[in-house]
Amino acid sequence: MAVAKVIVDLALDKEFDYLIPEHLADRIKVGTMVSVPFGRSRREGYVLSLAEHPDYEGRLKPISAICETRAHVPEQLVKLGRWMAEYYCCSQEQSIRTLLPAAVRSGRIRHKIRRLYRIADVEAAQRFIAGNSEKPGAALRVALLKALLAHGAKSSDGLKALTASFSQSALRTLIRHKIVETVDEIVRRDVFGDSTVLPSKPLPPSPDQRKALELIADMLRGKSASHVLLLHGVTNSGKTEVYLQAIADALSLGKSAIVLVPEISLTPQTVRRFRARFGDRLSILHSRLSDGERFDEWNRINDGEVAIAVGARSALFAPFRNLGLIIVDEEHESSYKQSEAPRYSARDVAVMRGKLENAAVILGSATPSAESVRNAATGKFLLARMASQVDNKLAPHIRIIDQRLAGPPEPGRSNVFSKPLVDAVFDRMNRGEQSILFLNRRGYARVMICEECGFEARCPDCSVAYTYSKLHETLTCHLCGGVIEAYSVCPQCGSPRIRYAGVGTEKIESIAGAVFKPARIARMDSDTMRGADDYETVLEKFRRGELDILIGTQMIAKGLHFPNVTLVGLINADLGLAMPDFRAPERTFQLITQVAGRAGRGDIRGEVFIQTGNPENETIRYAANLDFDGFSKFDLEFRELLDYPPFSHLIAVHFRGEDETRLVDYATAFTAELQRYAHDQIKLAGPSPAPIERIKGKFRYMLIIRGRKLRILRQALRVLVLHRTPPAGIEVYADVDAQSLL
């Protein structure tokens, strides 16, 4: 008896046994999408495994049909999806859905088809031309046949361009006489548009690059002790060239490659460099593509038309059957962690996919995550270090500016920019060079306060203050998206004495426009980069030298290569250190280092100004000295002392609900039940209010689980989260290996 275990498109986290009919036995495989009877209805689902005997003791129903027009999932990806469901405490349906883009999974998008006409019988066509060349009534048919013989299959528009007087009637006559036939051709939507790139050639590797490439070559050929390499290279050390040459090596072995970048905004630049080296042998996958484009790109990979996939997090699931290499660029980035179920880390899932498919994995960064550093130190990962910039360029000169010494600003003036930074920007403008000003906070002002009664404008549904936008005269909550008109007087006491405190990129842009006249300035943050092409448009202007100053958030902190940028100014560099999260120092160090790396990538040494009100802070000082090893040692000692990751695993269990009393009661009972599965190497802290206590009108409580050997507890947690129904109005979910504790 052949049995298929199928999950249907309902969030049940359960497989159902179905008989495989004889006529489908040779075609049903793991990952096949099938139609099955389910209760009184019919459902679609995926085959997760095959078995000789069912687990169900009742009478089995047979599979109705294979969904011929729908995409199937490669078997290795199904295995990966099942592992994700178990590890990240999500349902199998959620995990398997993640493997396919919605445009592919839904079946609503279809291939674009173009009808072509071609010669069906060459001899008949030649006879017709020879016998009718002098007959005026056959001139149109003769012209069509000559065009098709000379140029091959053509569309109607193509034939119109080739013949002086195209006739649809003449074409139909030739088809009726079976001299011409029609054929339908799939037309791929062109994600590259009219853009062209100049081809590039491999550069001679530096000694550090050569060592890294030798390690990767051994990994690709199965000669290495580990399938994962941590490529720790300082900014501008040539990591991308290592990626390019490693991919070329994988392609020479008949294998495919996936390249992940942390932000969609980085994809166009990465694609440009990879197209310059590999032409159109690559596909791009990210959320800014239209459904049709995403459908076509996925099918190009699935049909074996391309060998390289480049994109953000979801590109990890590109359906290659012969995967040889996965590259995770800027592997430390928190954006690789998905915020909705399944809450997976693309970096960690990349390592697992590499293990399942015998593919090499490269994790690249100038500031590797603590987890990767620890794995390299213990021998779990290989390590390749690239300590010098390309062409032995000098690292930028970094200065710490103590903002406490600036004193109060003069009337009508702002001390957002220190005098040394202002002088340095003007100096660059006079020399025809460019500057970047960085602040990791958008909006104009962080909070609105009444000076009369102390009223603070806060979102009524979230535990945060509204952010003020001067351009739109609005107050916005960046958690729930709520927007109201900015107050002209205090809504509590009616006083016009309203003050806007704090600084965001919108205010930086406004002040810079006044201070640095006549500078050409652009701002890049999620408030200004709304359209799919906005990011690339601004960067292209900056690249061409049409802008003097670029202002932005972390969107501009990484991946940008502009040789004419010689100055970077970080405003309020210690902003992230106040976050109630043990990773705050690591993220601050990484961000400062990444932003500093934008300066001096050309022939002129770069200069970086770090403006801070906390110049003695260890993280700021290590970053100013570009001392990653010193910071890493300092940070890891602190984490080991407190038993935080990477010395333990961390799971955050979130509880949300509108009734705080009922929420606390349920969270407390949930924790007590879970405590039964803990042992002396596991600590449970909470449940307690989350740092942001309310979002969208719901109270938030958290249970933090830390420790080693969590497998049994994680299995129990999965059952409690997925298979126990909480009281009405209460939501529970688990975030395994949580990256944020807010």
pLDDT tens per residue, range 169-194: 989 999 999 999 999 888 777 777 66
Are the C-beta atoms of residues 740 and 700 closer than 8 Å to each other? no
Count of domains for the chain? 6
3-class state of residue 735 by DSSP: strand
What integer is the mean pLDDT of 454-461? 94
Instruction: Clarify whether residues 417 and 366 are in a common domain.
Output: no
- Do 364 and 465 reside in the same domain of the chain? no
Q: Based on the domain organization, do 227 and 328 belong to the same domain?
A: yes
Q: Kindly state whether residues 489 and 571 are assigned to the same domain.
A: no
The CA distance from 230 to 516, in Å, is 42
Whether residue 12 is found in the same domain as residue 153: no
pLDDT over 70 (residue 266): no
- Say if 698 falls within a structural domain: yes
- Based on the domain organization, do 362 and 263 belong to the same domain? yes
Domain for residue 95, yes or no? yes
Instruction: Please indicate, yes or no, whether residues 434 and 564 belong to a single structural domain of this protein.
Output: yes
Across 11-20, 322-331, 342-351, least confident range: 11-20
Looking at the structure, tell me whether residues 41 and 137 fall in a common domain: no
CATH code where residue 675 lies: 3.30.70.600
E strand map for 396-548: 397-402, 434-438, 447-450, 467-469, 474-476, 483-485, 498-501, 521-524
Residue 713 lies in a domain: yes
Amino acid in position 72: H
Of 163 and 36, more confident: 36
Per-residue pLDDT, averaged over 72-95, amounts to 93
Q: What pLDDT score was predicted for residue 591?
A: 92
The reply to whether 295 falls in a domain is yes
Q: At what angle do helices 239-252 and 207-220 cross, to 10 degrees?
A: 30
Same domain, 532 and 633: yes
195 located within any domain: no
d(C-alpha 681, C-alpha 672), whole Å: 17
Q: Are residues 496 and 559 in the same domain?
A: no
Note whether 12 and 67 are same-domain residues. Answer: yes
**pTM for this prediction:** 0.88
Q: What is the rounded average pLDDT for all residues in the chain?
A: 90
Please give the structure tokens belonging to residue 359.
Answer: 């593919």
Structural domain that includes position 711:
649-736
pLDDT confidence of 545, banded at 50, 70, 90?
very high
Position 247 in a domain: yes
Strand 649-657: give its sheet, edge to edge.
682-695, 698-707, 649-657, 730-736
Residue 102 has a CB neighbour count (10 Å cut-off) of 12
The torsion angle over the Cα atoms of residues 82, 88, 94 and 96, rounded to 10 degrees, is -30
Q: Do 123 and 72 fall into the same domain?
A: no
In a domain, 741, yes or no: no
Domain harbouring 595, CATH code: 3.40.50.300
- Tell me, yes or no, whether 19 lies in a domain: yes
Please check whether residue 515 is in contact with residue 508, taking contact to mean a CB–CB distance below 8 angstroms: no
